[in-house]
Structure 1
């Protein structure tokens, strides 16, 4: 029997995100509450300012660019407190937002712009050249590449998003009516094992339901009032807003529940600690490599992190050792959650009280979720037995953009999403994720597709054949990519040539795809009769090498 969530099924409002966030009757906090705060510049947005700025931008999209329902606006930027207003301004005008990783190369960005059909691109000034180059490749006009953030274009070529406004004086621009169950809110890109990222189509209902699910999962432990500063709970945001984890758990949850979101453009350990101390941050969404640093890094001892009541780790499995190291050192509990781009993202979280009772578990099912573990023959397995996790609920995506085959493979006719993750549940309904069927490498929460790296590496003049696998780096508490390479002119390649290949690849990809696990030269790549790379044999080889290295020590 499939497992059902034990949470009550509160009705999901039949509205799009704008209606859900800005036309609600049950908002638990005032319009002048600060929701998004930049600790570096001290710039902020209140709820009222988010709403008014978003409406201005939405009207501007319609007035200046004739924005139509379903038009895609791409973002190519680190975290910024302007991201929410740009997002909901796009939704107000009936558009779809497609965020891209600011570390993408021109070609990687151009792929997403082309695949999503983006009509315009919002970036920040330091990224303007790559943004323009990618836009040019796909035919987006230069005047549709605009900037957000604190810096303006000194040449005045790139407009600031606040200049995209209805200057005609016309009152004819109205909010576009949307169908929440059908119309898309976001197109997020998730790496596929075939190489190119896939556009995950998320509807307004997907994100509305997941925002409600996350709130239920925190079970009243977070409040918009009280706290160390009297401003309610404060959440620290360093997880990227271009990733669904940051997009829903941070941007949407904070404005829905009235928490101040303290926004960092990217992770820096000392800044992370200082900002917690100075702003009395009480809650943070984290990933295992950050948990590792908090447990071990000496710089942490310089700061007072006692305001933090709980951290929630996601994006990759968390070990008992990491949880205990942080609690023993800082007395900060760390609970774990689970989700995927295709589920908007969160499907499970540990209840606050269980953080130390079920360490290693991703928790229990959030509201509206039905889940089961399935064997290779698509038969359900009982509690305690291992299988692939399948999930059903209103947060499950609509499908992959322009990819009916991928969609058919991922979604069953009765609405289950096959996660590709392997694990089990115990008799008390706690779920565990132990491995992945998919071959994706998870580096600090980023997904790296081995096939994509193999496709680039094979074009190197000294590479005859190649396979990329994940190896686990204990020091960083994350998987890293390693390449096994058959060189064109025989074995005996030196460390110098390995480094040359690593550096050659790093110029062609985003930083998270770097071969941090190194390059190993081999005489052949193990393959099946049908030509598929037998990665498990290479993983076994990597483990043997690891054991051998330790034995020598």
Structure 2
């Protein structure tokens, strides 16, 4: 944990509100949080299961917020922690938010699309990078966030994943964050990252769960099969862990707590190559 976050978690009798990344919510039982009343989470989607888990264990209200550096920085925040759970709340004043299909057409409420935002807070472009600016800013001032989400009838926004991180399985799109949130609700799992890997036999991408096992869980085929079955009972057919489970000591993350999926995909590819070499020997 970063020093500033850890310091905020260890002080008692003073702090009432804490802003923290979803990654840190799994460690709440390790700290004295008796003074806290509200946790605000951002930078990555937070599932209903994890929100309920924190509230049940500690009685703390957990809200979500959304924004990017390019939007200076917050555009959404939940008004009430127990309303529209799993959402980041409605847009703040002076924000225009669209949800767009891959062919740049607006989709209706309840349908996932790329989140586009326009407002006085949105940046004007990247310094000395005209190409990147043209790619993400439309002529009428909308910023293409690269995030996928949808809006309910009450105007609350739900962020499901990043466009670039979606796993394409036989024409379907699978959001890693959805599977990660589900798996975090399983007692066998301490931490998890889901990535897509190419399967030559199926000629498509398939989801693989890289899991840090909870204390007492024995790594092996029995636990792997139990986890795969548990997920299969709770998701649609195209979202199943067809790539199985891989055990890891830790999930690689950036300084801001975001999962470094590229590192995991590289590691999985290397492990697969090692397996082929052993098979030939």
Shared fold (TM-score greater than 0.5)?
A: yes
Partner of 1:265: 3
The answer to whether the 8 A contact 2:38-2:62 is kept is yes
Query: Could you tell me which residue of structure 2 aligns to residue 443 of structure 1?
Result: none
Aligned to 1:335: 63
Aligned to 2:10: 274
Residue 404 of structure 1: aligned partner: 130
User: 1:424-439 counterparts in 2 under 5 A?
Assistant: 424-439=150-165
Question: Aligned-pair distance for 1:273?
Answer: 3.6
1:249-296 CA-partner distances (Å, limit 9, x unpaired)? xxxxxxxxxxxxxxx73444xx54421x1x5101010111211221xx
Confirm whether residue 283 of structure 1 aligns to residue 13 of structure 2: no
Distance of 1:401 and 1:330 partners within structure 2: 44
Unaligned runs of 5+ in 2: 167-175, 199-247, 274-281
Give the secondary-structure state (helix, strand or coil) at the position aligned to 1:409: helix
| Candidates 515, 519, 535, aligned match of 2:268 | 519
The Cα shift of 1:438 comes to: 2.3
Provide the residue aligned with 1:192 in structure 2: none
Matches within 5 A, 1:90-109: none
Aligned position for 1:309: 37
Cα shift at 1:345: 1.7
Any idea what SS the aligned residue of 1:400 has? coil
- In the alignment, is residue 423 of structure 1 matched against residue 157 of structure 2? no
Gapped regions of structure 1 (runs ≥ 5): 1-237, 239-263, 441-468, 485-501, 524-553
| Other structure's SS at 2:93 match | coil
Using the alignment, how far apart are the partners of 1:477 and 1:425 within structure 2? 28
Pairing of 1:151-170 with structure 2 (within 5 A): none
**In the alignment, is the contact (CA less than 8 A) between 2:149 and 2:159 conserved in 1?**
yes
Residue matched to 1:321:
49
SS of 1:293 mapped into structure 2: helix
Match of 1:327, SS state, is helix
* Partner-residue secondary structure (3-state), 1:364: coil
> How far 1:424 moved relative to its partner?
1.0
Structure 1 distance, partners of 2:148, 2:75, is: 15
Aligned residues of 1:289 and 1:478 also touching (Cα < 8 A): no
Aligned to 2:119: 393
Measured after TM superposition, the shift of residue 417 of structure 1 is 0.4
Q: Which has the larger radius of gyration?
A: 1
TM-score, normalised on structure 2?
0.62
SS in 2 for 1:367: coil
- The separation in 2 between residues aligned to 1:272 and 1:481, in whole angstroms, is 32
TM-score, structure 1 normalization = 0.33
Deviation at 1:400, TM superposition (A): 1.4
Tell me if structure 2 keeps the 8 A contact 1:482–1:515.
no
Residues 481 and 381 (structure 1), Cα distance of their counterparts in 2 relative to 1, 3 Å cut? closer
Q: 1:346 to 1:476 in 2, by over 3 A?
A: farther
Map 1:225-244 → 2, pairs under 5 A: none
Residues 127-142 of structure 1 mapped to structure 2, 5 A cutoff:
none
- CA distance change for structure 1 residues 286 and 476 in 2, over 3 Å: closer, same or farther? farther
SS at match of 1:371: strand
- Counterpart of 1:84? none
Q: How many pairs does the alignment contain?
A: 202
CA contact (8 A) 1:360 1:432 kept: yes
Task: Give per-residue Cα distances to partners, 1:482-524, cap 9 Å, x unaligned.
Answer: 998xxxxxxxxxxxxxxxxx9xxx9xx989759467434446x
Q: CA deviation at 1:421?
A: 1.1
Aligned equivalents of 1:368, 1:478: Cα separation in 2:
37
Contact 1:373 1:390 in 2 (8 A): yes
Q: 1:413 aligns with which of 139, 158, 168?
A: 139
Match of 1:361 in 2: 87
| Contact 1:283–1:308 (8 Å) recurs in 2 | yes
Conserved? CA contact 1:482–1:519, under 8 Å: no
User: Residues 482 and 428 from structure 1, CA distance in 2 versus in 1: closer, same or farther, beyond 3 angstroms?
Assistant: closer
SS at match of 1:338: strand
**Is the Cα–Cα contact under 8 Å of residues 288 and 477 in structure 1 kept in the other structure?**
no
For the 8 Å contact 2:114–2:146, the answer to whether it is kept is yes
The structure-2 alpha-carbon separation of the partners of 1:403 and 1:476, relative to structure 1 and needing over 3 Å to count, comes to farther
State whether residues 421 and 436 of structure 1, in contact with CA within 8 Å, keep that contact through their aligned partners in structure 2: yes
Distance 2:160 2:46 in 1: 10
